Each structure stands twice: as C-alpha cells, then as structure tokens.
Amino acid sequence: MYTFDIDCSFGYEVKQPSEFIFHIQVAHHPWQTIHEEVLQVSSHLEIHEYEDEKQLNRLFRFSAPEGPIEMRYRARVSVDMPYRDPAFREMDIAELPSEVLHYLLPSRYCESDLLSGMAQRTFGHIPRGFDRVEAVCDWIKQNIAYEVGSSHASTTARDVLANRAGVCRDFAHLGVALCRGLNIPARFVFGYAEFEEPPPDFHALFEAYVGNQWVLFDATRMAPIEKIVRIGTGTDAKDVAFATIYGDVEMKYMKPLICDHVDGQEPNFVHKDQFIGLKTA
C-alpha cells in the first residue's frame, strides 16, 4: 500500500460569464482510501458536487462571472492495487459480464473497428492473456514517440498510429483500441502520477479486462503503475476530461501535484514552483 499527498490548483481569468465542470477529485474506487480531502474555490462561487455511480467518477460544477477565479483540491489517499498476475487469461466473449461488453466497441477516440486487422496481424499469434496486453504496451512504447505537442484534443488512436507520436492520452487511446481490436475489453483511466521530469501534469493509462477483472496497464512506462491515484474511468478521454468549460476563459496556471506521504512531515512536492499554462475556450 502507498499513501500520497495531492495538491491540485487552478487559476483562470473569466472573460464572460461561463460554466465550469471539473473532474479532479480522487475517485471512490475499491483500490483507494481517501483519508482526508478539502476542495476550495473563490468565495463568490457556489459549487455543486455529484458522482457518476456507475464509474465512481466525482465531479463538481459552478457558474462564474467575469473576473479571476481560483480553486484548490487537497487530499491524502492510500492506494492498494491488487496483484497484476501474468497468469491472468483473456475471457471468451460468452464469459464476459454484461456490464463490460460495451468496452469492446469502438468509441470517439478509439476506432478499434478500423484497427482490428492491424491488431490481429501484430498480436494475434501471442498467447491470449495478460502477456498479450503487455505486448501491446511494449509495441506502443517501441513504435510511438512520446512528444509533447505532437497531438491535439481531436487526435484519435488511428491518428497516433499514422503519426507515430503522441503523449500519455494518445498512448492510452491506442492501447485501448488495439485491445478492443483483439476482443479484449479495455477502458481509459485518468489520474495523478509523480514524474521525474517536470512540469507536473495529469496522467492517462488504460485497463484491460483479463483474469475476470480490470487490470491497469501503462504503455508510456513513465510512472510506477502501482502508484497511480485514479481520478476517473471511461470509454475514452471524452468521458474523463479534467475540465469542461462553456465560455471565454483563459487558464493562468495549473498545478496537479502529488508526492509520497510521510507521517509527521509537510508534503514535499518536487515541482511545486512549476506549472502549466494554456488557453481554453
């Protein structure tokens, strides 16, 4: 089991009255225990919190007038991920629980129907199970360059395969699409992770349904998989955007910080003075 401190903050300049939906709170997930948490927003904002009971995703929303706004989410959470057993086998379609069947289907960013031929040619000879999903991850790592700025919000798994470059979101989408192309249910996971290289950012990876359970995989190999704190789960990134904004808004800063928790000590966030800034409309 690992315990982490999280300190996630945002600042925006709102140029016209706008609507915000945020998805940055730690998920109520069986692998995770939230010991404490606090959500703070600018005093003039009234927030409404709600939860997707099916996916255990937690969100909050608010309306903001013109002017600057800030928000901060802090939490201490423990993660106890089950053992990822290489002996886990793939399930035949007839064996799959009904609630996972839709994770076999193509989705907005994961065109598994268009990539199934490539998936079968590349991975069809590998014994079915955990190791085949690991082979998918290995192939992505070896054949797709991790390049910040090489993709955009509309980039799909097929685009990533054609361009041979992307970021964690793209690696996860390609992993999901290839697994679905092999008739392995797969879904997108979004969370907090501490990286050795700045700046701090959220992380994306994926789960495949093997061994009659969901198992995490990360084709980027950028962070220890057992030290991921889950925020959300979905068919692809469209289900778990960290922010959905309706209006004219400029992001001033974003700091999704995480570090190992040490009893009796203040959190030691390695990259606390670095941040990401971008413009959102």
Q: What is the CATH number of the domain that holds 161?
A: 3.10.620.30
Q: How many CB atoms lie within 10 A of CB 65?
A: 11
281 vs 67 pLDDT, higher one: 67
Q: Is residue 224 part of a domain?
A: yes
CA Rg, the chain, in Å? 19
Q: Is residue 62 part of a domain?
A: yes
**What is the reported pLDDT for 43?**
79
Select from 231, 272, 232 the least CA-distant residue to 254. Answer: 272
82 vs 196 pLDDT, higher one: 82
- Percent of the chain past pLDDT 90, that is, above it, reads 86
Domain that holds residue 184: 93-239
**What is the reported pLDDT for 50?**
95
Same domain, 97 and 234: yes
Q: How many domains does the chain have?
A: 2
**What is the reported pLDDT for 265?**
79
The model carries a pTM of 0.92
With bands split at pLDDT 50, 70 and 90, how would you rate the model's confidence at 76?
very high
> Averaged over 257-268, what is the pLDDT?
86
**What is the reported pLDDT for 280?**
30
Same domain, 123 and 49: no
State pLDDT tens for residues 19-36: 999 999 999 999 999 999
Q: Where are the beta strands (DSSP E) in the chain?
A: 2-14, 18-22, 32-41, 48-52, 57-64, 67-79, 145-146, 165-166, 186-192, 202-210, 213-217, 229-234, 243-246, 249-260, 279-280
Q: Is residue 54 part of a domain?
A: yes
Same domain, 144 and 180: yes
The three-class DSSP label of residue 232 is: strand
**What is the reported pLDDT for 198?**
61
State pLDDT tens for residues 125-150: 999 999 999 999 999 999 999 999 99
What residue spans of the chain are helical by DSSP H?
Answer: 112-123, 130-143, 157-163, 168-181
